[in-house]
Chain A
Amino acid sequence: MASLTLNINNKSHTVDVDPQMPLLWVIRDIVGLKGTKFGCGMSLCGACTVHIDGVAMRSCTYPVALAAGNRKITTIEGISENIDHAVQKAWIELQVPQCGYCQSGQIMSAVALLKNNPKPTDADIDAAMMGNLCRCGTYNRIRKAIHRAAELMR
């Protein structure tokens, strides 16, 4: 066990946990932010995607100790106060979700993509989003919504 300080959504949390515990479970069960989801536990589905220093990472396999200290963790709860991030607006406009379970991860991947690439092509979207699975089949909406969010951010 170790006492670690985490900066999550610009708020400091001190947690006493096994340093090998995946960040996902610290975020969900210790800190109590439930928007980040568990899907596979092997970085295969992307449901657990968060940003660490602005980079999309799979929190289900990311040891918490590596995310501690000065690193900045952002979860779905941290991208906007009022559900008004351009990506969220585009997602609402295109009514993307079905069950919605994978969408936190989809949105976190999309936000990271658009930060680095304000005008992604379809191929860019494929490359950035193919690690995020959706069993309901919202992929075509996701693609459209990313293009739409890029417009909104311009």
Chain B
Amino acid sequence: MSAISTGNQSNAINRRNFIRLSGLTGAALILGVSSRSGEKELAAVGDVADSYKLTPYIIIEKSGKITLMNPKPDMGQGTFQSVPALIAEELEVPLDAVTILQTSGEKEFGRQVSGGSTSVRLNYFSLRKVGAAAREMLIAAAAAKWKVQAKDCYAANAKVYHKPSGKSIGYGDLVETASKLAVPQNPALKDAKDFTILGKNYPRPDVPLKVSGRAVFGIDVEVQGMLYASVAHSPVFDSKLVSYDDSDTMKVKGVQKVVQFQRMLGKNKYDAVAVVADHYWAAYQGRLALKLNWDHQGHDQFNSKDYEQSLRDMATKEGSVVHNDGDFDKAYKEAPVKLEAFYETNIVSHSPMEPMNCVARWNGPDSVEVWVSAQGPDLVKGELSRTLGLSRDNIKVNIQFNGGAFGRRLYPDFASEAAMIAKAVDKPVKVLWTREDDTQLGPFRPLTFSAMKAGLSADGKPVAFQHKVISPSMGATMDEKRNETGESSSMTEGISTQQYELPNMKNEYVFSEIHVPLAAWRSVTSSTVAFAHECFIDEMAVMAGKDPLQYRLDTLLTKDSDTKRLLTKLREVSKWDEPLPAGWGRGVAQYEFFAGLAGYVVLVSKKSNGGVKIEKVHCVIDLGTVVNPDMVALQVEGGATMALTAATKPGITFENGQTAQTNFHDNEIIRINEMPPVETHIIAEGGPTIKGVGEPPVPPFAPALANAIFAATGKRIRRMPFDLNKV
């Protein structure tokens, strides 16, 4: 069995694919290898490996120029480097000597979505095998040329060396021969001790572009003859546009046309009016001059206060059972010590710094091309195919650097908008949302409420445990094929699969309808349910009269596990057992979910004028293996910042059917003066699975902070957000 195959015996097919992908002319010789699934171990780790089609990641030209394809859009999580690094390490080429190209949704590359913290963990072996196979072909080509044994040759710095004689030859001089060889079916991967790229703090190639204004984001793209559009939507979801008056709009100099259409967000269709002009400012002025007559259809009565009360009222309702082990009801009833608590969280926005935008150009009546910051070229293709009724083959997607995404750019409604408007005006169009649009129009991270129960023995051991989630569902608001029952597992993410040894555990999900569009936000449902879960575990420890970290290690984690190892490491690096100054407190939390595993110890101090200050944040993240430790530290710092914003800033509330927040003055995010020091420790000691980086640092932060506040002040926080100045 093998992971590498030509997919087709003719390398001509590889060449054709490469030429189309990279815009090279016919003169280039290309070495392509493909990966395919078929091996159990690979199926378990690879989404790239899922593809049976050609997946040509490597282009080596006769000149020696090397291009590597990156299938995973960069939104700040570092895939522009970390994914090609997997290939470069095995190919034996220095990363600063290669050109990196973003793929465009070609089928051959399989799934090209940045999401779920999957980019490295699911491609770690399959892409290394791609590089290793190419390296072996180049070595074989050199050996044949020199008439020596391949085993006496090795590759380094884009050259093949002959050990006995010391002679060398560059890859460019070998590609013609190498590309005619059979692709090795089982190339040897390098030993980790020989890595020159993986595991090192290799400088990222996008950094110089990003400190000089040269990185091209979606918003920066211009195509010839392009017009600009600003779009008016109703801030009340599901409003119908009764009529509009654009007479003042048409008086704005530069305005060319007003287009009525529908924004398509998942299953939702929202009426919208676009103003198209010579430049953005004119389009925006024209939009402000529109007189729009909306019928809100009663949705202007919707508000967060009532909706949240409805969730509280559902807390006693029996939900669908997502986990049932033993007999919770009996064990809880008989438990000598009982504990109950109700936790609440709120809706928040993604708010990436780059507002939603897209450039679209029709290249024919049935053929559209877009330039866009989005989390996957393939998902943009799918969305445009769905909303425009086009064949995927007639959709070209050029992914740009994403100015932040955090899940928002998994839903490219703005790309459909650009394509629809461009079609209506028969010219290329750049759609650009305002910050107000971005803040008000969703989709948002859902709120989840949690009803917690635990029964403890007289000596504090858990004998019964329940985590019931009461919430709307993301999928049900976006996908007509998804319903209440189908959503129970995603809305209770991780709560039944923590390593804690909790007997008689029964977890449930209670579904609540909502018309507001909700969607994945960095770390998805774990970002809210972990708050309830890990704060409640703390409450159990306190009830048992034990130190919260000691309780987790000794009582809840008697067996060895990654979680136990993580908490043990946290104890060590945070100096958990050393005394703290008066008025200080420390809190711990961890959370394991689909994306991976991380944990925090947060230290806070009471301020003399009330409230608390975060003094220090220690994070341990368990990865199995690490590609770029410095990038991981950045992702931890970023995850902690994002979680701190969600935990302590107002977030999104609805009043009169629309968000009470419109821009960064009322939808605040953490600023530099509010940022605590963050220290990152990585566990990369191998393990059964490779875990993700981007999302795991988010969920455990808020509970660790709330637990620290309890330790410092005695006040138990059971609702996010909370105000650090008032706790």
Contacts and interface: CB of A to CB of B under 8 A. Distances in A.
A137 B670 contact: yes
A29 B280 contact: yes
Given A88-B211, A95-B630, A96-B211, A38 B638 contact: no
A32 B222 contact: yes
B638 A95 contact: no
Interface string A57-98: 000000000000000000111001001000010011001111
A37 B213 CA distance: 9
Question: Looking at B206, B228, B351, B404, which has the most chain A CB atoms within 10 Å of its CB?
Answer: B404
A152 interface: no
Given A130-B671, A141-B634, A41 B434 contact: yes
B208 interface: yes
Interface of A: 1, 18, 21-22, 25, 28-30, 32-42, 44-45, 47, 75-77, 80, 83, 88, 91-92, 95-104, 107, 125-126, 129-143
A-B residue pairs, 6 tightest by C-beta = A35-B213, A137-B641, A100-B210, A101-B403, A99-B76, A98-B76
Interface of B: 74-78, 201, 203-204, 206-217, 219-220, 222, 228, 253, 279-282, 285, 351-355, 401-406, 432, 434-436, 630-631, 634-635, 637-642, 663-665, 669-673, 675, 677-678
Given A40-B663, A95-B634, A140-B677, 17 more contacts: A18-B285, A21-B281, A29-B228, A37-B217, A38-B432, A76-B213, A77-B212, A91-B207, A96-B211, A97-B211, A100-B76, A126-B673, A130-B672, A133-B353, A137-B670, A138-B637, A142-B672
Question: Looking at B204, B208, B354, which has the most chain A CB atoms within 10 Å of its CB?
Answer: B354
B667 to A, nearest CB: 10
Contacts of A139: 637, 641, 670-672, 675
B207 A135 contact: no
Contacts of A133: 353, 664, 669, 671
B435 A37 contact: no
Nearest to A145: B211
A101 B211 contact: no
Contacts of B76: 97-100, 136
A146 B463 CA distance: 54
Given A35-B213, A39-B355, A137-B640, A100 B665 contact: no
Question: Looking at A30, A80, A95, which has the most chain B CB atoms within 10 Å of its CB?
Answer: A95
Contact of B637 (A37, A103, A104, A141): A141
B212 A76 contact: yes
Contacts of B402: 99
7 contacts: A39-B353, A44-B663, A91-B207, A98-B77, A130-B671, A136-B404, A139-B637
A96 B672 CA distance: 14
Given A45-B664, A95-B207, A135 B213 contact: no
Contacts of B634: 95, 98, 136, 138, 141
Nearest to A146: B672
Given A40-B435, A41-B435, A136-B404, A101 B354 contact: yes
A95 B355 contact: no
B354 A37 contact: yes
B219 A37 contact: yes
Given A34-B220, A98-B638, A42 B435 contact: yes
Nearest to B644: A137
Contacts of A92: 203, 207-208, 211
Contacts of A102: 353, 403
A49 B395 CA distance: 36
A99 B403 contact: yes
Nearest to A34: B220
A129 B75 CA distance: 23
Nearest to A33: B213
A108 B204 CA distance: 21
A22 B401 CA distance: 25
Contacts of B75: 99
A13 to B, nearest CB: 15
B114 to A, nearest CB: 11
B638 A138 contact: yes
Nearest to A26: B281
Given A25-B280, A37-B219, A97 B207 contact: yes
Question: Looking at B211, B217, B678, which has the most chain A CB atoms within 10 Å of its CB?
Answer: B211
A32 B280 CA distance: 13
Contacts of B351: 135
A97 B206 contact: yes
B488 to A, nearest CB: 31
B630 A36 contact: no
A76 B210 CA distance: 10
Given A98-B77, A129-B672, A135 B253 contact: no
Contact of B672 (A42, A83, A132): A132
Contact of A99 (B352, B630, B669, B670): B352
Nearest to B213: A35
B348 to A, nearest CB: 12
Contacts of A97: 76, 206-207, 210-211
A1 B641 contact: no
Contacts of A32: 222
B618 to A, nearest CB: 14
Contacts of B77: 98
A137 B669 CA distance: 10
Contacts of A101: 217, 352-354, 403-404
A24 to B, nearest CB: 9
A37 B673 contact: no
B211 A103 contact: yes
A5 B448 CA distance: 55
Given A77-B212, A88-B212, A100 B206 contact: yes
A76 B665 CA distance: 25
A18 B253 contact: yes
A130 B668 CA distance: 12
A137 B637 contact: yes
Contacts of A137: 637-642, 670, 675
Nearest to B435: A40
A123 B76 CA distance: 27
Contacts of B677: 140
Question: Looking at A33, A39, A76, A143, which has the most chain B CB atoms within 10 Å of its CB?
Answer: A39
A39 B435 contact: yes
A136 B253 CA distance: 38
Nearest to A82: B212
A136 B638 contact: yes
A100 B672 contact: no
A134 B353 contact: yes
A63 B531 CA distance: 45
Given A132-B672, A135-B406, A18 B281 contact: yes
A99 B404 contact: yes
Contacts of B228: 29
Contacts of B211: 83, 88, 91-92, 96-97, 100, 103, 107
Given A34-B216, A95-B207, A95-B634, A140 B675 contact: yes
